[in-house]
Amino acid sequence: MNTDWIAVDWGTSSLRAWAIDAQGATLDTAQSTKGMGTLAPSEFEAALLELIEPWIKGSSANAPMQIIACGMVGARQGWIEALYAKVPSLPISATLTKAPTQDPRLDVQIVPGLSQSTPADVMRGEETQIAGFQAQFPKFDGIICLPGTHTKWAHVSAGEVVSFQSFMTGEMFALLSKHSVLKHSLRDGTWDDTAFDDALADTLSRPEKLASKLFTLRAEDLLKGLDGGAAKARLSGLLIGAELAAAKPYWLGQMVALIGDDGLTDLYASALKTQGIIAQRTNPTDMTLAGLKSARASILE
């Protein structure tokens, strides 16, 4: 095997690596559940080695393997903090941060995140997906939305991220459905599209309704019984509707691209469609890998 360099996506809950050859083709992939959230800083190197050991047999202190990593591995609680680049900025600026290693065969470079002063905001990992998207669609000018635990909306123009905004919608859904009084009513059940659409329309047109509508999910269940799937769809619609109301300056009248995992991203696509926006969809893993290749290319320049 002729691994030229290794691409790594290291988030809070998972670690994924690709062995890349000199032509940019993927020779092999590997992944583990050793996300940075489960590791102490001293454990990062071992967790990575465990995964990539077969790919670095030919490497040495004189010819170390270059590893380009993105994600929470570069957070303050990660392997080493890769400082943020301030927007407006290229999604990946040329300055990567070298992580300290014991094994001299490793040359680990971490992609910095992006920050914004006003309103204060940060991203880490999504900048790589944005860079990957730009590599595939270099002429794109518009909005990239990355649904997730903390959904990001980014305004991209002339190759730069101009501004962005984060929403805690995904985390709110998880907290409310797992830890709040609503958990008793958000049982498993069949997803209800109409319940989602109605709830979405409610908070998208009148976002103040979010605060008043949440408890009705519990009350309606107590009083008349409510299907768990319908309840989940309504909660999701209420939260995404409130997000879309707040993010309107981003998407209104714009080209929108979505980068994210299928389930959640389907909901955003469907929500945007109710506003007349047909969003372009791309695969998030493909975008991450393409972004890591861009980062590698920027180092070589």
- Contact residues toward a second copy (CB under 8 A) are 76, 84, 115-117, 119-122, 150, 165-169, 171-172, 175-176, 179-182, 207-216, 218-220, 222-224, 239, 242-243, 245-248
Q: Minimum CB separation from a second copy for residue 92, in Å?
A: 19
Which residue's CB is nearer to a second copy, number 14 or number 216? 216
Minimum distance, C-beta of residue 120 to a second copy, in the bound complex (Å): 4
Min dist CB 91 to a second copy, Å, is 17
- Rounded to whole angstroms, what are the CA distances from 160 to 139, 145, 175, 227, 279? 11, 15, 34, 45, 20
Q: Of 3 and 185, which CB lies nearer to a second copy in the complex structure?
A: 185
Q: Which is nearer to a second copy, 30 or 122 (CB)?
A: 122
> In terms of CB distance, is 247 or 289 closer to a second copy?
247
Strand locations in the chain, DSSP E?
5-10, 15-20, 26-32, 65-70, 85-86, 97-98, 106-110, 114-116, 121-123, 142-146, 151-157, 160-167, 256-259, 280-282
Q: Would you give the distance in Å from CA 150 to the centre of its chain?
A: 8
Min dist CB 5 to a second copy, Å, is: 30
| 88 cis-preceded (ω within 30 degrees of 0) | yes
* Shortest spacing between CB 28 and a second copy, in angstroms: 33
Among 37, 52, 46, 58, CA closest to 7: 52
Nearer to a second copy, 191 or 215 (CB): 215
